[in-house]
Amino acid sequence: MKLHTIFNQVIKTGLLILLLTGCRKFLDVRPSTGTVNPSTISDFEEMLNNDSNAVCNFILADIMTDDVQMSDAMLAADQSSYYAHAYLWAAGIWNPGDLDPMYNNAYTRILQMNIILEKIDGTGGEARRKNIIRAQAQINRAWYYLQLANLYGPDYRSATMSTDLAVPLVLAPNANELPSRATVQQVYDQVLSDLKAAVVSSDLPDKGQTIVHPGKSAGYALLAKVYLYMGNYMQAEVYADSTLQLNHMISDYNNGNVHPASLADLSKNPEVLLARLSPDYSFYSKYHTGFFISASLGNVLDSNDTRLTGNFSGNGSFNPNASFNGQIFNYSVTVPEVLLIKAECLARKNDTAGALELVNQLRQKRLVNYVPLDPGADAMMAVLQERRRELFYHGGARLFDLKRLKRDDRLAQTLQRVADDGTTVLAALPPNSPRYLMPFSPVIIANNPKIVQNPR
């Protein structure tokens, strides 16, 4: 049965209820809005109030990076799952019947934002409230498209951006056509368009009503991130500054907030600009443990760093949460990430002192016993190492960095999977390998043959 047929059946049985009350796994991304009728400002506000908008899971994007180690015992227990396939950069990630939770979840959220953006102008009521709703939907949609573009498409390169393929660009809830993949340039253009339209709204507050609601600071932060990925460091710095003018708070991890267990925990952290939290049950259920910190990530973290002690157990496994037999990942848009974006921009224009000052501002709030960096340190390497410390298991942040940094011969590297003995190489990933790209699952291709599969 075609995906749009499945989805239209879902709509007929009450999609609006699902949109307002919770998250379900949808297979399609293009429902008709004919029977979905949010009609008042309050309806749209309820859609944005739903905390499911802040819940997503990009665990495979993190498993593909050099921040993760899976033990011999874990791989021996199950080498047929998409977790093991992604970890070993296998020729195929998905089994025939696998549903891709990243793709499906992201397009479910995009669907919700598309319904809001299509219908909000036809709704009566106060213009200010409608403007806020529109801007917040645009920021939410931009966040998800930025994730998708960087996961399924190559890094942004000016020479090939207009031909490199990213993901289907769906901007309206329309079931009539099956969308083909848009180019990297088209998706980035849309992300920039959404974010710029949002932040110029005079009605959008600097900070949202809650951490689930994006404000201008979140929009500016995402613009800084987009331009960083584009290699436009001048604009990335401009928008990083715009963010930090509105919020420059950094939490002291010595006093808590190291690892949130819920959105309520995130709400207590003043550095969070837009919450994104991922509770993962499936990996822990399969392997009965979290995955382990890799040797290379361990080399940049030590026992003086609260990010190590607050996230990993003594054996190096990542925070299995006994209360629900799972793991919690924090993908939030935060002040520290913006601070490091600005620091990288400064390092790239040889402002070593300025870059190291920003890195030290963050380290003061992360280290048990703070010692400033040597003023003669390599600023670029200091910034990139701090990004690893701050943004590991962050929904693909490290993967996206690896993809963009391989443009620089000094930073390009071949990744390896090594067995527990420390010497046996199980797999390798060269810097320009097509296996940096997440393939589309067979279910997605079967239901939309216009989607061209990524090469492996």
pLDDT in tens, 147-190: 999 999 999 999 999 999 999 999 998 766 789 999 999 999 99
* Dihedral of alpha carbons 313, 316, 318, 322, sign: negative
pLDDT score for 176: 67
pLDDT score for 36: 55
pLDDT tens readout for residues 308-354: 999 999 899 998 565 667 889 999 999 999 999 999 999 999 999 99
pLDDT score for 132: 98
pLDDT tens readout for residues 74-98: 999 999 999 999 999 999 999 999 9
pLDDT score for 445: 95
**Distance separating alpha carbons of residues 204 and 133, to the nearest angstrom:** 9
In terms of C-beta density within 10 A (0-12 exposed, 13-18 middle, 19 or more buried), how is residue 431 classed?
A: middle
Q: Using 50, 70 and 90 to split pLDDT, how confident is the model at 289?
A: confident
Q: Strands of 12-79 (E only): list them.
A: 68-69
pLDDT score for 194: 98
**Distance separating alpha carbons of residues 256 and 309, to the nearest angstrom:** 12
Q: Using 50, 70 and 90 to split pLDDT, how confident is the model at 37?
A: confident
CATH 3.30.930.10 fits 3-447, yes or no: no
CB 229 within 8 A of CB 158: no
pLDDT over 70 at 59, yes or no: yes
Q: Which of 274, 357, 281, 356 is nearest to 320 (CA)?
A: 281
**Distance separating alpha carbons of residues 70 and 293, to the nearest angstrom:** 9
pLDDT over 50 at 22, yes or no: no
Looking at this protein, which amino acid is placed at residue 210?
Answer: T
**What is the residue-averaged pLDDT of the chain?**
91
**Structure tokens of 32?**
């008709």
In terms of C-beta density within 10 A (0-12 exposed, 13-18 middle, 19 or more buried), how is residue 298 classed?
A: middle
**Distance separating alpha carbons of residues 287 and 290, to the nearest angstrom:** 8
pLDDT tens readout for residues 357-369: 999 999 999 999 9
pLDDT tens readout for residues 412-454: 999 999 999 999 999 999 999 999 999 999 999 999 999 999 9
> If you average pLDDT over residues 90-109, what whole number do you get?
96
pLDDT score for 224: 99
pLDDT score for 14: 34
Q: Using 50, 70 and 90 to split pLDDT, how confident is the model at 407?
A: confident
pLDDT score for 1: 36
pLDDT over 90 at 12, yes or no: no
Q: Specify the pairing of strand 327-330 against strand 181-183.
A: unpaired
Q: Using 50, 70 and 90 to split pLDDT, how confident is the model at 222?
A: very high
Q: Using 50, 70 and 90 to split pLDDT, how confident is the model at 33?
A: very low
pLDDT score for 39: 86
Q: Using 50, 70 and 90 to split pLDDT, how confident is the model at 38?
A: confident
pLDDT score for 322: 52
pLDDT score for 414: 97
Q: Which of 57, 104, 66 is nearest to 436 (CA)?
A: 66
**Distance separating alpha carbons of residues 390 and 385, to the nearest angstrom:** 9
**What is the reported pTM?**
0.92
Q: Using 50, 70 and 90 to split pLDDT, how confident is the model at 17?
A: very low
pLDDT score for 269: 96
**Distance separating alpha carbons of residues 191 and 223, to the nearest angstrom:** 9
Residue partners of 9: CB distance under 8 A and separation at least 6: none
pLDDT over 60 at 376, yes or no: yes
pLDDT over 80 at 21, yes or no: no
Domain boundaries along the sequence of the chain = 3-447
pLDDT over 80 at 27, yes or no: no
pLDDT score for 24: 32
**Distance separating alpha carbons of residues 214 and 230, to the nearest angstrom:** 23
pLDDT score for 177: 74
Q: Using 50, 70 and 90 to split pLDDT, how confident is the model at 26?
A: very low
pLDDT over 70 at 29, yes or no: no
Q: Strands of 208-326 (E only): list them.
A: 272-274, 277-280, 292-293
What distance lies between CA 113 and its chain's CA centroid? 17
> If you average pLDDT over residues 248-277, what whole number do you get?
95
**Distance separating alpha carbons of residues 257 and 365, to the nearest angstrom:** 11
- Quote the percentage of the chain above a pLDDT of 90: 83
- Quote the percentage of the chain above a pLDDT of 70: 91
